[in-house]
Amino acid sequence: TSDLLPNWLDPELNNFRQNVMGELARDVVPDLTSRGGGWSCSVDGGTMTLELWLCNRGTAAVGSGIEVAVYDGEPEAGGAEICRAETDHILDVGDCVLLSCEWIDPPTEGTRDLFLRADDAGERGECLEGNNGAVMRDVGACGAPG
């Protein structure tokens, strides 16, 4: 073995620790995820702006018009829909976009856990449907003006 050059010193080889990712599967699809951003109240407390992140973690771009719905309580348990935000451009692989929607007449006391759902209607084929939701914990109330 002393007659052989190490792989990284041989100009014909020189592929030491080379990683080859291989080919992607033919059925590449998007994978939408959501998470909360922030929130702010209007001066008069009559509306709350909710910021929502929508990301594409899949292996294919997804067209515009993807919605993120926000609920006051778990939607599966009858939580009321607050608002929706929608993308206006293509979301490439690995991209995230910050969206916002308005909660009209938000609570004036306490905090809430808000539930987010990307592609709530399930209109887009994805590799994982179960990771579309997120929870914005302890969203504060907009105090009554005074």
The pLDDT of residue 146 is 43
The pLDDT of residue 8 is 72
The pLDDT of residue 125 is 79
Report whether 55 contacts 32 (CB < 8 A): yes
The pLDDT of residue 41 is 92
The pLDDT of residue 90 is 93
Report whether 45 contacts 144 (CB < 8 A): yes
Report whether 143 contacts 79 (CB < 8 A): no
Q: What is the pLDDT along the chain (146 residues), one digit of tens a residue?
A: 677 777 777 777 766 666 666 665 556 889 999 999 999 998 887 899 999 999 999 888 998 999 999 999 999 899 999 999 999 999 999 999 999 999 999 998 999 999 999 988 777 778 778 888 999 999 988 865 54
The pLDDT of residue 6 is 75
The pLDDT of residue 17 is 66
- The end-to-end CA distance of the chain, in Å, is 85
Report whether 110 contacts 141 (CB < 8 A): yes
Model's pTM, two decimal places? 0.76
